[in-house]
């Protein structure tokens, strides 16, 4: 069994921010699947979607999951919002869901200091109505695949990372 923590959850729930806070506090390395894909494709996610479409991006996510399975251990891995659909997620480590309501997520993204950029880099968040539909479609699946569920809506960062450490550290 791999000793990775796999952070999943909807776009904008704070996976990257949480991962960095966790890595600093608990002294581990953190990698992000979107960053890995962008560096391999030498393009931003937005451009991968524009040039090749979503299906191509999903294939890159699967390649990324296969590489993690063969080559990564003892690492905190933050994942793009759709990464949970790869066919080997459960082989990658302990799956931790950051959970919050759509309204909370939307509010977090749209009131962020760099809100425009945060929304712009996420092709599937370009239309809030569609994003909400996607949230509804995924909500159950996220919970079903998770080993641990963390409610981030009612917690500050310090207690979120403490809860992850307690429940998912292996
Ligand atoms: C996606 C989420 C994005 C990124 C891509 C697709 C999704 O990552 O992987 O735009 O399908 O939910 P974040 O969850 O980091 O925004």
At 38-60, the pLDDT tens digits run: 999 999 999 999 999 999 999 99
143: tokens are: 């919970």
CATH number at residue 108: 3.40.50.300
* Best mutation site among 80, 83, 117 for ligand 1 pocket (most ligand atoms within 8 Å of CB): 80
CB atoms within 10 A of CB 87: 9
Q: What is the pTM of this model?
A: 0.95
Burial 59-77 (b: 16+ CB within 10 A, else e): ebbeebbeebbeebeebbb
Q: Please name the residues in contact with 46: beta carbons below 8 A apart, sequence gap of 6 or more.
A: 120, 121, 122, 123
104: tokens are: 């909370």
In this structure, is residue 110 part of a structural domain? yes
Closest C-alpha to ligand 1, atom 8: 80
Total domain count, the chain: 1
Domain carrying residue 158:
5-164
In this structure, is residue 169 part of a structural domain? no
86 C-alpha to ligand 1 centroid (Å): 13
In this structure, is residue 38 part of a structural domain? yes
33 C-alpha to ligand 1 centroid (Å): 10
Per-residue pLDDT tens for 13-42? 999 999 999 999 999 999 999 999 999 999
CA–CA separation, 60 vs 170, rounded Å?
A: 28
Residue 169 pLDDT exceeds 80: no
- What's the DSSP call for residue 88? T
């Amino acid at each position: 069994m791999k000793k990775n923590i796999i952070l999943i959850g909807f776009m904008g729930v704070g996976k990257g921010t949480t991962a960095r806070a966790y890595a600093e506090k608990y002294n581990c390395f953190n990698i992000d699947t979107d960053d890995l894909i962008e560096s391999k494709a030498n393009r931003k996610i937005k451009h991968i979607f524009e040039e090749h479409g979503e299906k191509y991006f999903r294939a890159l996510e699967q390649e990324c999951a296969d590489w993690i399975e063969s080559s990564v251990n003892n690492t905190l891995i933050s994942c793009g919002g759709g990464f949970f659909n790869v066919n080997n997620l459960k082989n990658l480590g302990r799956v931790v869901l950051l959970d919050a309501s759509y309204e909370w997520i939307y509010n977090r993204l749209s009131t962020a200091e760099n809100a425009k950029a945060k929304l712009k880099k996420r092709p599937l968040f370009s239309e809030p109505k569609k994003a909400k539909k996607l949230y509804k479609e995924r909500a159950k699946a996220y919970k079903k695949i998770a080993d641990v569920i963390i409610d981030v809506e009612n917690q500050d960062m310090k207690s979120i990372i403490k809860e992850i450490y307690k429940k998912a550290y292996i």
